[in-house]
Copies of this chain bind each other. A is one copy, B any other.
């Protein structure tokens, strides 16, 4: 059983993992460098543990100590109990969910390992918005994508906001980085994948006609909101596909487009 330690000073070095959580620039540098990430809220903390991440410590306001009793009993990491004002002083925001855990990152697998056995893969280029990354992982998990590959400049799936928006799907969908980009898309082809680039371009084929759900292995390449895929990424794809859209309207946002494309890749229709 973990020790419950009441901490009363915001400068206490034992709370170092939790300082300045609202400083996105600071945290996005610090967390990967120090090998940690922050899980926020009971459900997300439980899912991180269930996915095999090791807990470094937990930060709880008193009313959450009871709710998390079973986790505290099972944990071998320190549990810091603080009052809500101290939690806010340390983290920089009012911690509504009352429970934070600092978790140890695991080494990322390489792309080839993630692809072994996978048949449906999402590949993201330059998606550097944490909310979008989280939403795409959530849809990927729900719609049965087997893995996610990320260009080097994609946002961190383990950043607090990504984790929260994904509802913990970043723990359950295996992912890896593809580097160099886009040359290492070749890894996909060597593993037998057709690489389908999703683009609103009129030259692309409608995704329903391409029928990717019939392909033995399909990788769906997605770009960022706004700019879309780079010319180099488009050139490296096997085929260009588009979601059929009504005329004269803006395209779908990247989260909606990803969900539709995952559905098209993962689900056939009867009689086909």
Q: Which residues of A contact B (CB under 8 A)?
A: 135, 138-139, 141-144, 167-169, 172, 206, 208-209, 211, 243-246, 249-253, 255-260, 263-264, 266-272
Contact = CB atoms under 8 A, between A and B. Distances in A.
Given A253-B135, A263-B263, A268 B208 contact: yes
10 contacts: A142-B251, A144-B245, A169-B250, A206-B267, A208-B267, A208-B269, A244-B266, A253-B255, A256-B259, A263-B263
A259 B253 CA distance: 10
Contacts of A209: 269-270
A264 B255 CA distance: 17
A268 B244 CA distance: 10
A246 B172 CA distance: 12
Given A139-B253, A208-B267, A244-B267, 5 more contacts: A141-B249, A243-B263, A255-B256, A257-B259, A259-B259
Contacts of A169: 249-250
Given A256-B259, A260-B260, A260-B263, A246 B142 contact: yes
A2 B259 CA distance: 45
A222 to B, nearest CB: 13
Contacts of A250: 138, 141-142, 167-169
A253 B246 CA distance: 23
Contacts of A269: 208-209, 211, 269, 272
B138 A253 contact: yes
Contact of A256 (B135, B264, B271): B135
Contacts of A168: 250
- Which 4 residue pairs across A and B have the least CB separation, nearest first? A256-B259, A144-B246, A141-B249, A260-B263
